[in-house]
Amino acid sequence: MMKIGIACYPTFGGSGVVATELGKALAAKGHHIHFITYSEPVRLGTFSRNITYHEVRVSDYPLFDYQPYELVLTSKMVDVATYEHLDLLHVHYAIPHASAAFMAQKILRSRNRELPFITTLHGTDITLVGKDPSFEPVITFAINHSNAVTAVSDSLKQDTYRHFGVNRDIDVIPNFIDTSRYTLNGRSEKLRNIYAPDGEFIITHISNFRKVKRVEDVVHVFAKIRQKKPAKLLLVGDGPERVRTEQLCRDLKICADVKHLGKLKSTEEVLGISDLFLLPSEFESFGLAALEAMACGVPVISTNTGGLPEVNIHGVSGCLADVGDVDAMAEHAHRILKNADSLAKFRAGALQMARTFDVERVLPVYEALYERVIGEGAEGG
Ligand code: GMT
């Protein structure tokens, strides 16, 4: 069994969710997992004897206008690797985890200890650089000096080659889902009746309400669906765009049919009562929220950007449209919700596609990569 350190963001972002679920799944198989981050990962949940959480405490020394998180993170990586005898460090999201891991590796090497590290690229750590080149030199260097690099979709892999001077192999290991946890478990007629008492369709969107998610498009698509079919919209999550979204609902006079549920730690209950999931993002390297919906048998209407076409298959698990084409998205919604047969067909397609990303399939791919990287380290590679 391996001893693995996992560094990630502990928040509601997809990279933290994937890192946490990966750690939990590895721990369930007997590996020893050490989470290294600044607060408890939101999906960590209950006690497991194979999981330890190491908090990175940021100083509040008044000299620092900007607290040097990367340095305390690096020191914590060195400390955990030394005293917990880590075989490997797996960092999720390049900024700043990959460069911190590189520095930790160097410090440990100066103490005659080897610590290989794997960097998993998630999306905005790569695509953000298109807009903010100030990160580029550090990210390029840290990617090129990781012992292995994975990307969550082929699209993200190609974006990495496009944006950076990267000259190494990148393994594509897609995000995954525990389908047994999602599938139909959350179905509750009682809950459904609370939000859709007259049998309306339930349309759902889940995100961190950042600009990239284009939540206003969700509202526009919903308003068009509602013109033809009785429907309710459930919005899960919170973030900078929420105020604008609420205002748009007021302007369109559809507030009575829209419910903002805010942040939820687990989404399967809401997805369990949903008929359709909307993800009209400007960009999405993978679209974990879409996969979670599909695992509950909920068809997805998404944009065709980034890695979304690798997850949501047009005409099978849902439909794809160009970014901003709310008319096409509404048309697709009408097609899916047209009648019980059509909805049932898309529900089955969503479930079938989600199963191809089951944790049982993806976990061994990560384990094989860990073994390879640890083996290369032992050979002095
Ligand atoms: O953009 C977010 O919602 C957060 C971000 C993250 O890293 O926390 O999500 C990215 O990683 C997820 C997990 O791999 C992917 O499912 C999301 O598609 C990706 N977001 C973007 O590319 C915008």
Q: Does an H or E element contain 318, and which? A: strand 318-321
For the beta carbon of residue 175, count every other beta carbon within 10 angstroms: 25
Domain 3-176+359-380 shares a fold with domain 179-355: yes
Give distance in angstroms: CA of 209 to centre of ligand 1: 12
List helix spans (H) across 164-302.
Answer: 179-182, 189-195, 215-228, 242-251, 268-272, 288-295
Provide block-wise average pLDDT over 10 residues at a time, the chain (381 residues): 96 87 95 94 81 91 82 97 98 94 97 97 83 85 96 96 91 94 72 94 96 97 96 96 96 96 89 96 96 96 98 98 98 97 97 96 98 82 45
Distance, CA 229 to ligand 1 centroid (Å)?
32
User: What CA–CA distance (Å, rounded) separates 100 from 77?
Assistant: 8
d(CA 124, CA 58): 24
- Ligand 1 geometric centre to CA of 15 (Å): 6
Identify which of 348, 186, 147 has the alpha carbon closest to the alpha carbon of residue 269.
186
Quote the pLDDT of residue 44.
83
- Residue spans of the domains in the chain: they are 3-176+359-380, 179-355
- Helix, strand, coil shares of the chain, percent, nearest 5, are 50, 15, 35
Q: Which pLDDT belongs to residue 258?
A: 97
Q: Is 179 in the pocket of ligand 1 (CB under 6 A)?
A: no
Report CA-CA distances (Å) from 115 to 18, 104, 142.
Answer: 22, 8, 15
Is residue 37 within 6 Å of ligand 1 at its C-beta? no
pLDDT for the residue numbered 381: 45
Q: Quick one: pLDDT at residue 133?
A: 82
3-176+359-380: what fold?
Rossmann fold (3.40.50)
Using a 6 Å cutoff on CB, does residue 284 contact ligand 1?
yes
For residue 239, report the distance from its CA to the centre of ligand 1, in Å: 14
Give the pLDDT confidence score for residue 12 in this predicted structure.
66
- Angle (CA) 259-262-58 rounded to 5° is 170
Cα–Cα dist 149/171, whole Å = 6
Ligand 1 atom closest to the Cα of residue 213 is: 23
The pLDDT of residue 72: 95
CA dist 307 and 303 (Å) reads 10
Query: What pLDDT, on a 0 to 100 scale, did the predictor assign at position 190?
Result: 87
Cβ proximity of 277 and 323 under 8 Å: no
Distance, in Å, from the CA atom of 110 to the CA atom of 15, rounded to the nearest integer, reads 31
Given ligand 1 and candidates 124, 157, 175, 304, which is best to mutate, with the most ligand atoms within 8 Å of its CB?
124
Containing H/E element for 35? Answer: strand 32-37
Per-residue pLDDT, 379: 62
Tell me the C-alpha distance between 333 and 221, whole Å: 9
Distance 254 CA to ligand 1 centre (A): 29
State the virtual CA torsion across 17, 306, 292, 350 in degrees, nearest 10: -160
CATH number of 179-355: 3.40.50.2000
Asked if residues 98 and 143 have their Cβ atoms less than 8 Å apart, the reply is yes
